[in-house]
Chain A
Amino acid sequence: MPNPFDLLGVAEDASDDAIKKAYLQRVREHPPERDPDRFQAIRAAYEAIKTRKARLSYRLFHQETPDLAELTTVALRPGDARRRPSEAQVRQLLSQRLTGQK
């Protein structure tokens, strides 16, 4: 199961109300009739952390290895200063595409 806090987009110290609000928001974005798999994941995440007791239980017993993509995504938040690529970089990208190299 992906980290339920990340899936619902709440902090680990979020309150019951905040978690419920985030859950309902996610369900609105992914209603069960349109996106059943995603909905199931959201539902499972909510069940895992909806109360203080559930959150403590999750913290005590869940053994899954952390989702590095989530952690890394936070670390890769883009800054304001976008840098343009160099001409060589664009040529290189083009060459790789044209010769099928990745």
Chain B
Amino acid sequence: MRKPIPQQPRARLEDLPTRELIARGVALLSDQNYKDAIDVYKLLLKREPQPEAGWRDSLAKVYLERARQLAQKAMHREAAVLWENIPTLCGQTPQPDLYLDWLLRSGQYAKAMRAYASHAAALPAGGELETLLAALALAGQKEVLQAIPPDAPLRTHLTAAQAALRAYTQGEAEDAVRERLKAISIRSPYRDLRQALAALLKLETDPTGALALVERIPPTSPYQDLVELVRASAATDPARALLALTPAQRELAGLFGLDARQLKLLKDWARLGDHPSDKAKFEFIAANLALFDREQARRACLALLLGYPQGSKTYSNLFGPLPPFEAQQLKALRAEREDDDLDRTLRDWQGCVDLLRHETDPDSRLMAALILRHMAELLRKGDDGWDDGEQLRDCLEQSLRFDPDDRDVYLQLAILYKEVDNDKEYHQWVEQAVKRFPDDPLVLLAAVKTATARKAHKKAAGFAARVLELDPINTKARTVLINAHLAHARKLMRGDKYALAEKELDSAGQLERDNARTGIVEINRGLLALQQRQRDLGRRWLREGVRLAGSPLLAWVRLAVETLRLKLEPADFQRDADLSDPRKLNASRTDLLALAQLLNAYREEEVSDLDTVLEDLEKPLQRTIKALTSEDDLLLICESLHQAPHYGLLEYAATRALEVQPERSLFVYYQIYGRAEGDLDLVKDRDYDRLEQAMERATAAKDHRAATSITRFLSQSPFSLPFAPKGRGPAPMPMPIPIPPKMRREIEDMRRELERLPPPLRDRMLDQILDELPPDDEFPPGVQRALMKMMLLGGGIEDLLDELPEDLPLPLPGGRGGRGKRRS
């Protein structure tokens, strides 16, 4: 921590030379710091009291400005006190109207009227001050009334103003009130009252016209409350405008045509305050029920019962007993809101489904389906990895019995089954989706994927063609369709059916857009021609394919992938394709980034052997990687090599990336993953420690991507608990128990030793080992013992659970504690 710098004591004002004092005064004025400027100018006046120095004027000015600042903060009394210094210290009385205004606004009427009398000559005629005094006179302020001279307009016009007000408030006819208003001249200090009363009168017949009348009243007028009432009353939604009024203004709500019950409602509303509790809201509705739309009020009360369950009895008295479904729904919503017991929430929602199960009306069936999907969503959110998603899939499957027309549910189910490697169900759900939604591009694209995975290329092409019929610019479908034709062509080429293969290649070529040709079709045409011993034609096609591929690097990769797919050797076609030795290629940064994209695309097509393809390119790629300096570029390359995978290049790229961005967790992971060839068993102890540190850094920095990758890698350990269902996306993986390699070797040795022993001796030895386990901070002794036993003897999660003491609290997966969702 830095040591505080000792502050120099500020020079006292009195110690400053006059020249500096003047400069300080100017600076304070320029900063509008009138408070401090007063001290400076008081001192200057003290030093140079002669009038020609001009300090009196300056001091008067800063006093007045400071008083104005206070008045702007509604500190009228303080402003007036400050102003009173000016005559005393400076011998001046600037703007006495302001002083009077502040006195009046702070309720110092007697003092104000004395000042009014003494400054009368200096007061502006017909200004805001007069309007204010007039309003006070009208409001019946005695001290003001008594002090007004008999011949002043304030007094002479008062009678007319009072008469007009009385005529209006006592309900006289419009014409009669207008006559009274005419008696108030437009120059009268009561002219704002005249305008306000005219507007209120107009409101009764022409609200829009009333609005125009109040426009002429200045915003500082004492009659602004009346102006706001007229505006609210003439608003398009007067009830809402009414709620925005101040409590004082709402006292005049009769202007809106409200009856006594509505006025009572308004008072109750005012009592609710800004943030009423659910109880207060419930009671407000109950007390004014007759005024509300009954069904709306019932729904509102029902919703409020969530936070105010004690209102149930009142609810039943007002609206009758809750129907069973709504009572159950309320229970489920309350359980969900409490958010501490997922099983209870699911049970309560299931109760709702059970109540709807035998209903036949469409809304009830749809509601049952929606609830089941909601339950699935809750299960997904609360997934703690203890099951393989069976309950979630079951909810979704059940929901389709009530509402079979939800496309997304079919696709979700297909994905869920794919995630748990249940290909049979995965394909089946896609098929069902296709049957139900034969013209839905999303479903058809899913069908293309499953058909391709099953090597049913013709079927895949059919689905993709249908997508293109429906959506001709669907790039994905076009690519899939081209790939399907190519795959079929390869199959035919391998079976020596050259004519048919050519037809397939023609189809693929016709589908390719001119601006998106990749050279694959041409390379395959070349390979086909060469297989048929048409050497010249084959060469031409291969060279055209190489040209279209974009760069020698990409061309080599394309050629290598295509030949390997046909079980051919890429090097045999190198010369025909006019490609140089791949080990001597020069690749630019752009080539490298394009290669990364190409590798990703091949991974999506599930092309294997990419590591073989990259083997010959290792040297040129290393040269290009070495020259990279951008972290983003290196990340892209690492990701791509991780996917391919090519361990050697991955380690190389990650090492380079760590030079650019030392200690980034993801790069540490890539480096170690590459070095160990993706096998946790091959990770050295030192690297293991680095991985753990990287994991800690990633967790602290909320770098979920790195944390997930490392956790996934660590969960390869044969000793990690089988908490993790496969392929659960980016969510943090459930807790594995990573064991450093050295300790794993020791456990393995112990296990071998135990296996050699006869059973009775083995049990005794095992007990001894377990009894001698050192204390562990992470696990209670019972859990530690059960885990060690499982590691030594093998066995699954069921065996482990059998071993655990019944009363033992289980550590929550992922280290969650406290209010984590409980699952029984």
Enumerate chain A interface residues (CB-CB to B < 8 A).
12, 52-53, 56-57, 60-61, 63-66, 68-69, 71-87, 89-102
A10 to B37, CA, bound (A): 62
- CB-based contact B169/A93 at 8 Å: no
Decide yes or no: A60 and B255 within 8 Å by CB, A76-B265, A87-B169, A98-B136 being known contacts.
Answer: no
Q: Which of B252, B284, B300, B303 contacts A89 (CB 8 A)?
A: B252
- CB-based contact A68/B284 at 8 Å: yes
- CB-based contact B370/A73 at 8 Å: no
Interface 1/0s, chain B 250-278, versus A by CB < 8 A?
A: 01101111110010011001001000101
A89 to B248, CA, bound (A): 9
- CB-based contact A66/B367 at 8 Å: no
B442 within 8 A of A: no
Chain B residues near A97 (CB-CB < 8 A) = 222, 224-225, 248
Chain A residues near B132 (CB-CB < 8 A) = 98
Q: Which of A52, A73, A93 contacts B225 (CB 8 A)?
A: A93
Report A3 CB to chain B, min CB distance, Å.
Answer: 9
Top 10 A-B pairs ranked by shortest CB distance?
Answer: A83-B254, A66-B300, A76-B239, A75-B291, A79-B257, A78-B257, A87-B169, A73-B239, A78-B256, A94-B139
Q: Which of B136, B165, B226, B295 contacts A87 (CB 8 A)?
A: B165
- CB-based contact A76/B248 at 8 Å: no
Closest-by-CB residue of B relative to A64 is: B303
Chain A residues near B204 (CB-CB < 8 A) = 82
A53 to B295, CA, bound (A): 21
A20 to B224, CA, bound (A): 41
A23 to B374, CA, bound (A): 27
Report B217 CB to chain A, min CB distance, Å.
Answer: 13
A22 to B724, CA, bound (A): 49
A69-B243, A75-B239, A87-B166 given. 9 additional CB < 8 A pairs? A65-B306, A65-B307, A66-B281, A75-B265, A76-B256, A76-B258, A78-B239, A94-B225, A98-B136
A89 to B263, CA, bound (A): 15
Closest-by-CB residue of B relative to A85 is: B252
Q: Which of B168, B169, B222 contacts A94 (CB 8 A)?
A: B222
Chain A residues near B292 (CB-CB < 8 A) = 71, 74-75
Q: Which of B136, B170, B269, B304 contacts A65 (CB 8 A)?
A: B304
- CB-based contact A78/B303 at 8 Å: no
- CB-based contact A100/B105 at 8 Å: yes
B104 within 8 A of A: yes
Decide yes or no: A78 and B238 within 8 Å by CB, A66-B300, A90-B165 being known contacts.
Answer: yes
Closest-by-CB residue of A relative to B104 is: A98
Report A96 CB to chain B, min CB distance, Å.
Answer: 5
- CB-based contact A63/B306 at 8 Å: yes
Interface SS of A by simple majority: helix
A12 to B295, CA, bound (A): 10
Q: Which of B107, B139, B168, B257 contacts A82 (CB 8 A)?
A: B257
Report B329 CB to chain A, min CB distance, Å.
Answer: 7
B99 within 8 A of A: no
Interface SS of B by simple majority: helix
Chain A residues near B248 (CB-CB < 8 A) = 92-93, 96-97, 101-102
Decide yes or no: A99 and B107 within 8 Å by CB, A73-B243, A78-B238, A91-B139 being known contacts.
Answer: yes
Closest-by-CB residue of A relative to B197 is: A90
Q: Which of B246, B306, B370 contacts A56 (CB 8 A)?
A: B370
Report A75 CB to chain B, min CB distance, Å.
Answer: 4
- CB-based contact B170/A87 at 8 Å: yes
Closest-by-CB residue of B relative to A101 is: B248
A78 to B22, CA, bound (A): 64
A87 to B140, CA, bound (A): 11
A79 to B257, CA, bound (A): 5
Report B304 CB to chain A, min CB distance, Å.
Answer: 6
Decide yes or no: A56 and B366 within 8 Å by CB, A82-B257, A91-B139, A92-B251 being known contacts.
Answer: yes
Interface 1/0s, chain B 283-306, versus A by CB < 8 A?
A: 011001001110111011001101
Chain B residues near A52 (CB-CB < 8 A) = 363, 366
Chain B residues near A89 (CB-CB < 8 A) = 169, 251-252
Chain A residues near B333 (CB-CB < 8 A) = 61, 63
- CB-based contact A65/B303 at 8 Å: yes
- CB-based contact B169/A60 at 8 Å: no
Chain B residues near A101 (CB-CB < 8 A) = 248
Decide yes or no: A85 and B222 within 8 Å by CB, A76-B243, A76-B262, A100-B105 being known contacts.
Answer: no
Chain A residues near B223 (CB-CB < 8 A) = 94
- CB-based contact B104/A81 at 8 Å: no
A12 to B257, CA, bound (A): 28
Q: Which of A57, A75, A92 contacts B370 (CB 8 A)?
A: A57
- CB-based contact A72/B269 at 8 Å: yes
Chain A residues near B306 (CB-CB < 8 A) = 63, 65
Q: Which of A56, A65, A100 contacts B367 (CB 8 A)?
A: A56
B159 within 8 A of A: no
* Residue among A12, A56, A82 with most chain B CB within 10 A: A82
Report B337 CB to chain A, min CB distance, Å.
Answer: 6
Chain B residues near A99 (CB-CB < 8 A) = 105, 107
Report A82 CB to chain B, min CB distance, Å.
Answer: 5
Report A26 CB to chain B, min CB distance, Å.
Answer: 14
25 contacts between A and B (CB under 8 A): A53-B370, A61-B370, A66-B299, A66-B304, A69-B240, A71-B296, A71-B300, A74-B239, A74-B296, A76-B262, A78-B238, A78-B239, A82-B204, A82-B257, A84-B200, A85-B251, A86-B169, A90-B252, A93-B225, A93-B248, A93-B249, A98-B104, A98-B222, A99-B105, A102-B248
Interface 1/0s, chain B 619-631, versus A by CB < 8 A?
A: 0000000000000
